[in-house]
Amino acid sequence: MSWVLKNVLLYGDGDPVDVVLKDGIIAQIGTDLAGDEVLEAAGCVLLPGLVDLHTHLREPGREDAETVETGTLAAALGGFTAVHAMANTDPVADTAGVVEQVWRLGQEAGHCDVVPVGAVTVGLLGEQMAELGTMADSAARVRVFSDDGKCVSDASLMRRALEYVKAFDGVIAQHAQEPRLTDGAQMNEGVNSSLLGLTGWPAVAEEAIIARDCLLAGHVGGRLHICHVSTSGSVELIRWAKGKGWDVTAEVTPHHLLLTDDCAHSYDPTFKVNPPLRTQHDIDALRAGLADGTIDCVATDHAPHALEDKETEWGAASPGMTGLETALSVVALTMVETGGLTWRQVAERMSETPARIGRLEGHGRPLAVGEPANVVVVDPAARWIVDPAQSASRSRNTPFAGHDLPARVRATFLRGVATSLSGKPA
C-alpha cells in the first residue's frame, strides 16, 4: 500500500509538493501524484521522523508506570519514529539479555523503533563497568551507554568507559550530578529554594561533572554526550569543549526550555524533576545554546511515574515528567515562534543530529526520493490544549496540563506505515 501526502512543505520551505510513500521509502516527490491512501496536508510541514535520545519506557520492572507498548504509542503520537530506551529498568539493562529483551519488545509493538541504551556500570551502582562490548555485539547493537538517573561519579571508571567504547564507536551519555553536592536536594538552589524551605541543588553540581568529563573525553579521544543540560554555566562549558575540538555533544529537554523554578511555589510534585527546573537566566542561555548549535539536540527525558509516586508530598515524590507527546509543540513554542529556530533547524535538532549521535541507520535521513519513509507531518497553525487524560502514556505526570500549545502532529509514518493519524493511533 502507498500513501500520498498532498501539498506538504518540505522542512517548511518552498512550494507545496506531493510526497508518495511506498515499499518503505519515499518513492516520489512532485505534483499531482497519486497513492492508495491520501492525506490532505495543505499548509503542513513535512519533517524526517523525530528521534529521541532519552526515553524512559520502564519495562521491564515498572509496567505500572509505562510499557514499551504504551510509551512507543505516545512517541508515535508525538512524531517520533525512534526512541532510545534508558537503562534504569528492573532488572537494569546492563547485559546483552536485557537490552535484547527491550529491543524485541519494541519490534513487537511496532509504533516506532526502540533502541536500548546500555548501563555504563553494573546495576547502575557506579562500581564496576558493565558488559559494554557484549551489549554492543548483541542483536540490539547498543551504541549509547548511560547510568542516567545516576551519575558515573568515579572519574577513573568514567575514563575507562570513554576509552572502551571507542572500539565500537560508542558514546557515554552522562547524567551530570555530583552526588556529594546534591544530597537531599529537592529543587534548584536559589531564592525560591530559600523561600520554600526546600534543599537546593546548586548549578555547580552539574557543571563540575561536565567540566571533568569534557577534560576526560578530550584526554582519551572518546565520545561524550551530556544529558539534560540545565544551567547557563553548563552551556558555557560545552561551548568551550567544542572549541577545543573534543567530541562532546549535549541535549536539552523541552521542559528546561520553558519552565522555571517558580513552578515549585505550588508544591505540586509534577514540577519535581532531575535535574531541577532552573531560572529564566538559565532558560535564555539554553535557548541561545540550542539556536547556535552549542547544544546539539532536544531530548524528552520522558519519565513516566505511577500515581502513587507523584501524588504525594514533594519530598517523597519521584522526579520526572512525561514529554513524548508534547516535545515538538514545546519546541515550536519556545524556539520556532520566537525566531530561534526554523523548521529546517528543528529537523536537525530533533531528528538528524540525535540519529547521528546514536549511530542510527534509516532515521534522520534527508527528505528525498529513495530515502526511508520515516517522516512526520506537522500542522504548524494548529493549536491544542494538553489533557493528561487523553495521553497514550500509562502515566499522567505532564507539567503542561492545560497549556495551549502550537503545532499539532497530523501523522507519523514508520517505513511508510502510518503509526499515528490526526492525533490518534493509526
- Residues tagged active-site: 301
Whole-angstrom distance, CA of residue 94 vs CA of residue 161: 13
Q: Find out whether 12 and 358 touch, Cβ atoms under 8 Å.
A: no
Whole-angstrom distance, CA of residue 266 vs CA of residue 314: 10
Whole-angstrom distance, CA of residue 237 vs CA of residue 217: 13
Whole-angstrom distance, CA of residue 45 vs CA of residue 344: 10
Matching residue, cell 500520498: 4
Question: Angle 280-292/232-243 helices, nearest 10 degrees?
Answer: 30
Q: Find out whether 55 and 116 touch, Cβ atoms under 8 Å.
A: no
Classify residue 350 by its DSSP letter.
I
Backbone angles phi, psi at 353, to 5 degrees: -70, -45
Task: Identify the burial level of 371 via C-beta atoms within 10 angstroms of its C-beta, where 0-12 means exposed, 13-18 middle and 19 or more buried.
Answer: middle
Classify residue 275 by its DSSP letter.
S
Whole-angstrom distance, CA of residue 119 vs CA of residue 122: 7
Q: Find out whether 94 and 87 touch, Cβ atoms under 8 Å.
A: yes
25 CB neighbour count, 10 Å cutoff: 18
CA-nearest of 234, 211, 214, 210 to 222 is 214
Pairing of strands 113-116, 80-85: parallel
Whole-angstrom distance, CA of residue 164 vs CA of residue 350: 28
Instruction: Write the DSSP assignment of 217-261 as a string of letters.
Output: HHHHT--EEE-S---HHHHHHHHHHHHTT--EEEEE-TGGGT--G
425 CB neighbour count, 10 Å cutoff: 14
Distances (CA, A) of 280 to 256, 259, 263, 315: 10, 8, 12, 24
Contacting residues for 182 by C-beta, under 8 A, at least 6 apart: 201, 202, 205
